[in-house]
Amino acid sequence: MADQRVHQLFRELYTGQIDRRTFLVRAAGLGVSAAAASLFLRAAGAKAQDTTPTPIPSDIAAPVVATPCAGDTCLYSGTTVTFLMANESIQVPLFEVRDEYEAATGAKLEIVMQPLNDVLPKLLEDITNGTGQYDASICGAWWLGELVEGDYIEPLEDFRADTQYPQWDLDAILPGPRALMEYGGKLYMSAYDHDGQAFYYRRDWFNDPTHQAAFKTQFSYDMPVPPQTWQQVIDCATYFNGKDANGDGNPVAGVTMHLKVGGQAMFHFMSYSAAYIIGPNNPKLYWFNPEDMTPLITSPGHVKAINDLIALSKQGPEAMYGWALGEAWDYFVQGKAALTFTWGDLGALAQETPDRGGKSLVKGKTATAEVPGTMSYYDLVAGADTPTDAPNIVGNTTGGSWAFVLSAASKNKEAAYYLMALLATTPKLQMYATRGFDGVDPGSTFQFPPPNGTASLDQYLASGWDQQDAIDYTDAYYKVFGNTQQFPYLRIPGTFEYWNALDIHLSEAMTGEKSPEDALKATAADWEATTDRLGREDQLASYKASLGL
């Protein structure tokens, strides 16, 4: 995930609506570092296959892994490989690696950029028509069911076992994100971006003895650092909301969230509600009944979750009901909110201080933890509320988890896979995870410092991170992705249509247009219509396959 305003600015540059100078000025105003801006300029120049791209500063460049070839050692001389790529920040590494790939293989790389929502239709059209224009494509994890079941993409096991290609470490990927790369027991995605949501809070405020004493007086228990349950989160947000926590005469908000329709608010609900439904006796059922595809979204657990999320939202600014990602993130990094829960991008944005061209006033003050849980969950299997002895915390892979897939219509599968594998190598993924601006988030053990993994904390410090912020951030994501309980990710045909219905009706509940119960009933009705239109039996088969049932 990344700031949507940066994406829009890049689109304007890419389509010629603004010039390079205007882009640099406006990018600086959004907190984009000079190094990141240079990479965006490079990508925009690649629209015309610019042969003299802007050099990447050496201190943030991913290391070269592939050895240049010569003569007969160039495996793919004369081959042109075409990658279909979303016009988003996750494109940065693909342009960065182009020269290295071409030098190592003799092939030429063409990158076709499309708006995010156009990538899947373009890929499906190309494969269905048998054109084979695109050899590989970026892929959101929720597309995988549709692509695999339509035989549109190739499994990768045989390619990965062949030592002629760059080697990458599948076993290092933590259980949550690794599960999204496979479907029906086969591997279809190479390692790249691993999305998930974590909990962010102001370390300085939560550890302030004055706030701790006042909180205990108000709520009759010690302020939890960090909160372990969503009820504790509501209490903490309630305490901080309206306080002059910065000492500047301006009250802060208890929480900041992005709740605008089309602003990915439904992802907030997924991460928040997981622990209300998923638990030791119900590890997989959240979306649909696996017997007949009837929606489960109106269960008592879902109803409790949406009511509690509404209660939490009341402890933030009213304006956030119309906020997308950028506004919500800005509010936190500018020191105006006590807590939030969102993607890994926020941890990196918190390090981008004004002296680095960013906006953050919270570097060195931003703690990260697992998304909190509940003390009971509604067991959909048993049909009963089930108490737990300890907080019921559920990991998540909420988001896109963007990675590359190999087109079944490709005429250059070997050359395309070489590039997919090169981007997945350990040295490159380590750099992508630490620098933050490319939207490629960590998910493998070699991206986490000890004791959780083998990465060096120095890599984060060299990229501008505060030491304690980096320690908290990497530890939180290691726990999020390594949790044995994971939120069941929906990835069947029509997934985004189901999600969009949830997004719309969630907003109706948050703004009071509908009661929470009626909003969830409306969601269920829309889901039933989508299932019937796509074919209930086909959808049921896909749903079972996606969950391994």
Domain boundaries, the chain: 1-61, 63-195+400-447, 198-392, 495-547
Which residue, among 48, 119, 110, 123, has the nearest Cα to 81 in the 3D structure? 110
Q: pLDDT-derived band of residue 458, with 50, 70 and 90 as boundaries? A: very high
Whether pLDDT at 2 is above 50: no
Pick the range with the lowest mean pLDDT from 8-17, 124-133, 396-405. Answer: 8-17
Whether pLDDT at 74 is above 50: yes
Nearest-angstrom CA–CA distance, 427 and 422: 10
pLDDT given at position 400: 85
Contacting residues for 124 by C-beta, under 8 A, at least 6 apart: 146, 150, 152
Mean of pLDDT values over 459-473: 94
Mean of pLDDT values over 454-470: 94
pLDDT given at position 1: 46
pLDDT given at position 53: 41
pLDDT cut 90: percent of the chain above it: 77
Evaluate whether 366 touches 110 at the Cβ level (below 8 Å). Answer: no
Whether pLDDT at 330 is above 80: yes
Give the helix/strand (H/E) hosting 202: strand 198-202
pLDDT given at position 3: 47
pLDDT given at position 40: 56
Evaluate whether 377 touches 229 at the Cβ level (below 8 Å). Answer: no
pLDDT cut 70: percent of the chain above it: 89
Whether pLDDT at 138 is above 60: yes
Task: Count how many Cα atoms sit within 13 Å of the Cα of residue 65 in the half-sphere of its side chain.
Answer: 23
Mean of pLDDT values over 82-93: 90
Whether pLDDT at 23 is above 70: no
pLDDT tens for each residue of 341-350:
999 989 989 9
Q: pLDDT-derived band of residue 56, with 50, 70 and 90 as boundaries? A: low
**Beta strands 384-392; 374-379: pairing state:** antiparallel
CATH number for the segment(s) 198-392: 3.40.190.10
Pick 436 or 96 by higher pLDDT.
96
pLDDT tens for each residue of 367-422:
999 999 999 999 999 999 999 999 999 999 998 899 999 999 999 999 999 999 99
Q: Specify the pTM.
A: 0.87
Which residue, among 6, 197, 149, 159, has the nearest Cα to 90 in the 3D structure? 6
Which residue, among 410, 426, 406, has the nearest Cα to 166 in the 3D structure? 426
Mean of pLDDT values over 445-454: 96
Q: pLDDT-derived band of residue 115, with 50, 70 and 90 as boundaries? A: confident
pLDDT given at position 51: 35
pLDDT given at position 11: 54
CATH superfamily of 63-195+400-447: Periplasmic binding protein-like II (3.40.190.10)
Mean of pLDDT values over 499-506: 94
**Residue for token digits 């108000």?**
218
pLDDT given at position 265: 87
pLDDT given at position 49: 38
DSSP string, 389-445: EEEE--B---S---EEEEBTT-S-HHHHHHHHHHHTSHHHHHHHHHH-TT-----BG
Pick 210 or 10 by higher pLDDT.
210
Q: What angle do CA 319, 300, 398 make, to 5 degrees?
A: 55
pLDDT tens for each residue of 221-235:
999 999 999 999 999
Nearest-angstrom CA–CA distance, 209 and 188: 51
pLDDT given at position 55: 55
Nearest-angstrom CA–CA distance, 30 and 459: 25
Pick 323 or 213 by higher pLDDT.
213
Examine domains 63-195+400-447 and 198-392 and report if their fold is the same. yes
Whether pLDDT at 304 is above 50: yes
pLDDT tens for each residue of 140-187:
999 998 899 899 999 999 999 999 999 999 999 999 999 999 998 999
Q: Look over the chain and give the mean of its residue pLDDT values, rounded to a whole number.
A: 90
- Sign, CA torsion 280/284/287/288: negative
Evaluate whether 140 touches 86 at the Cβ level (below 8 Å). Answer: no
Contacting residues for 217 by C-beta, under 8 A, at least 6 apart: none
